[in-house]
Structure 1
């Protein structure tokens, strides 16, 4: 499939697009591409960060905005997907195909590389019944940094992952407050969802009294490890009941226009927030619509759009109210501030031709 090659964030070259056979699933946990990718029908397309796009990501080699690419396949954009940490076989493209063939996974799978600090994939105490291989489990491990991935899953895909992981039996779905997970565009996925051990067989294996990192011992060696189950995985987590909605993360809004403190719609948003508004800046360009409110579009270089970060008390309740206020002229997306915090904000949908750029001191009440 073509001879085009590019260099990824790790410096490795990757053909575009790539097929599953380049990343075999065996032995567990399988091989991983050297790039973020979107996967469909046995093939993967690398995805690169791009702040000039609405989604913040661009699909190679055609350079299409990831949201546009997903829409072209009739699938939800990134704002309607939930981030789930993939530290085992779920980051393997051939495993994604297995999920399609065996468990009915549908639609493109968006899998973005992530740096995990204070978290490690370690070998679990029990072997898999299906093939006798030793699976991975997640553990807190201070001073350790590993590279894994984050799925941005649709609601249907999350249900398939539940079935695959044996939610409630082998693994449990939790929000992980330990460590720090950072995507390769600098976005910090705080309180990331993850499947962690639900019983003794999926607790970390203690060999010579210590967990064994998957990065240090391969599957062949892991199958012959001796030891005992750890009493726990050391993680600070909140169990998830039911199915999380995409609107639950993040719980912050970047307001740059009439929703800011002291401006005309502050009375609408203030009851939906907690804590004090925090001055902040985001990337993009602010335009004057001539209608009494500004239009934010990506681009412009640097964090040159002033605004405020507002903490939403209940994003699931607040965001529908704000969506209605913003109307069809805007679309809600996740944006990343210079410090890595991810916030909801509203981008102008239409063209900005003929709109003047607003000066930094713009205020309208």
Structure 2
């Protein structure tokens, strides 16, 4: 039983990259948790499916009970979505949902995902930052937060991602996704950039994403005199100018391509699912019938 302050502010998780671009991607949920507006309640992982885990609050309850008691959908009717970038940040998720009057009641669970790495999208976002995007790397194993969104929440997040991102459904047989309970998910959704992924001009491999935004922007300015003229001299000037002027964002995005930095993202196309009816968690059964004890 836990009674300490679990507010996002107290936990240092209240950054909102949409409002503070240089904080992108924000701090991800560090442990399995239930986001409730401006609080993040820790989950007690059990060797069972997600809804059977317990919420660490004043009166311990199973997660499904805690959600239903708040008038929210149980986990089985929610859609698992792998968060790459700021959708793993509790502060950003709360901002995206509550500004539309949608309750921010969202389970958020770090999950080990094989075959996916995080790079940088080949465009400048409306907030002025360069956002992350997944790309396929069959040798990679990455810890990424999975959010469990109900239908209304999923539509709201879709609207913030399209048209710059598309949604794909990754089958667990192709991309192993292991929960802290040991459960292997049968599938999950993911957003990937419609603009491709930025390559490092030296290695010609995808630039690593998910790091310090200021360092990324300073590096891009250093590598391109054209970007320096357009958005320089530093990261602060970049996000101020790009966030305020769509024309500058479009010009900067064109420079990415003209510098030869953009790698196409074709590996996700067979899994693209941005128009199909999403499948909830109960329709995506775990690949393993039995779950080992949590590690």
8 Å Cα contact 1:175-1:191 kept in structure 2: yes
**1:117 corresponds to:** 114
Residue 218 (1) aligns with residue 212 (2): yes
Question: Which sections of structure 1, spanning at least 5 residues, go unmatched?
Answer: 5-14, 253-308, 310-334, 341-365
Change (3 A) 1:97 1:52: closer
Residue 205 (1) aligns with residue 198 (2): yes
**2:134 corresponds to:** 138
Q: Which protein is bigger by CA-based radius of gyration?
A: 1
Residue 234 (1) aligns with residue 267 (2): yes
Residues 5-46 of structure 1: CA distance to partner in whole angstroms, max 9, x if unpaired?
xxxxxxxxxx55232461123411101232111112211101
Task: Specify which of 283, 289, 294 is matched with residue 249 of structure 1.
Answer: 283
**1:195 corresponds to:** 191
**2:234 corresponds to:** none
Give the distance between the partners of 2:56 and 2:282, measured in 1 at CA: 29
| TM-score, reference length from structure 1 | 0.60
Give the distance between the partners of 2:50 and 2:24, measured in 1 at CA: 36
Give the distance between the partners of 2:49 and 2:113, measured in 1 at CA: 25
RMSD after superposition: 2.8
Give 1 or 2: higher helix fraction. 2
Give 1 or 2: higher strand fraction. 1
What is the Cα deviation at residue 102 of structure 1? 2.7
Residue 39 (1) aligns with residue 39 (2): no
Residue 338 (1) aligns with residue 284 (2): no
Give the distance between the partners of 2:76 and 2:261, measured in 1 at CA: 42
Question: Which sections of structure 2, spanning at least 5 residues, go unmatched?
Answer: 18-22, 224-259
| Matched positions, count | 241
8 Å Cα contact 1:175-1:237 kept in structure 2: no
Residues 301-325 of structure 1: CA distance to partner in whole angstroms, max 9, x if unpaired?
xxxxxxxx9xxxxxxxxxxxxxxxx
**1:25 corresponds to:** 16
What is the Cα deviation at residue 179 of structure 1? 2.7
**1:161 corresponds to:** 157
What is the Cα deviation at residue 107 of structure 1? 4.8
